[in-house]
Amino acid sequence: MEWTEFATHDDGPLIAGRRAGSGPPVLLLHGGPGLGFDYLRDLADELAEENDVAWYQQRGQEPSAAEGPHSVAADVDDARRVLDALGWQKAYVVGHSWGGHLALHVAEARPERLLGVLAVDPLGSVGDGRWPEFDEEIFRRTPEAVRAQARELDELAMAGEADHELALEGMRLVWPAYFADPERAPPMPELRIAGARSAEMVPSILAELPALEAGLPQIRVPVGFVHGSRSPMPLAASTDAAERIPGAWVEVVEGAGHFIWVEVPGAVRSALRRLTRD
């Protein structure tokens, strides 16, 4: 798949990304917060077979600006800025993990810019977002021999005290836990992690949870959720939100963990087809 670069620095820091494909416009939001987009490349290629797909690197890592501020409000506005740069008055938004959570914020703040939302194994948007359950399940699945070290590195990362190498080592220790069968998890791809962004974003995400939950019943664009049956992210992270959004639906992908497109190729594309035909 041949991808064309784009960038914008109108109304804020530089945001850069790529675009490919033809069909309905789809904006793809990566997870983290603080991860590089790279881990989503296979999903981007899959979706671009049937859609006009654009993805961008969220602020905090090159090729976008490294500086903040890092907040939910800033990220919502960055999504709007990217839509403007692409010349898209409206688009479908597909977001994975934190990106799915962000997509719901965009649906509440900028409904006039959206055709619909597909949240892929998202961080929850009701109560505490099921974040504590997710963390505990990740560590439960992590081998006991390295569990304490993984927790320590996670705490350093959340405090903004882990450099890039420590952040990568922490991710390497827990990487298999994201998959349906940790013992058969694929090797961790090359990842980029911006620890400072993550440390700054987490308090903002938590602070905005009550407002996000309160706004779910007012969302009027089509919303779908696709969730791995064996993901460490609790299924309730999707169903809690879907129960509050008029007309929302949830598809559970059997045999999939958090990275659904890796373990069940085509499942996310199928869910997006359903959304675009609603």
pLDDT tens-place string over residues 78-135? 999 999 999 999 999 999 999 999 999 999 999 999 999 999 999 999 999 999 999 9
Where are the strands (E) in 97-190, listed by range? 114-120
DSSP state, residue 223: E
Size of the chain, expressed as the number of residues it contains: 278
Where residue 169 falls among pLDDT bands split at 50, 70, 90? very high
Decide if 46 contacts 35 (C-beta within 8 A). Answer: no
Average pLDDT over residues 222-239: 99
- Angle, vertex CA 270, rays to CA 217 and CA 92, nearest 5: 50
Helix (H) or strand (E) run with residue 60 in it: none
Q: How high does pLDDT run on average in the chain?
A: 96
- Domain chopping of the chain, boundaries: 4-131+190-277
Where residue 194 falls among pLDDT bands split at 50, 70, 90? confident
Of 26, 30, 50, 53, the residue nearest 40 (C-alpha)? 30
Structure tokens at 194: 């911006």
Query: Rounded to an integer, what distance in angstroms lies between the CA atom of residue 194 and that of residue 160?
Result: 9
DSSP state, residue 124: P
CATH: 3.90.180.10, 3.40.718.10, 3.40.50.1820, 3.40.50.2300. Which one for 4-131+190-277?
A: 3.40.50.1820
Query: Rounded to an integer, what distance in angstroms lies between the CA atom of residue 82 and that of residue 6?
Result: 9
The pair phi, psi for residue 167, each rounded to 5°, is: -60, -40
pLDDT above 70 coverage of the chain, percent: 100
Alpha helices (runs of H) in 52-97, residue ranges in sequence order: 72-86
Residue 49: per-residue pLDDT:
97
Task: Spell out a b/e string for 152-186, using b for 16 or more CB atoms within 10 Å of the CB, else e.
Answer: ebbebbeeeebeeebbbebbebbbbbbbbebeebe
Where are the strands (E) in the chain, listed by range? 4-8, 15-20, 25-29, 52-56, 91-96, 114-120, 223-228, 249-253
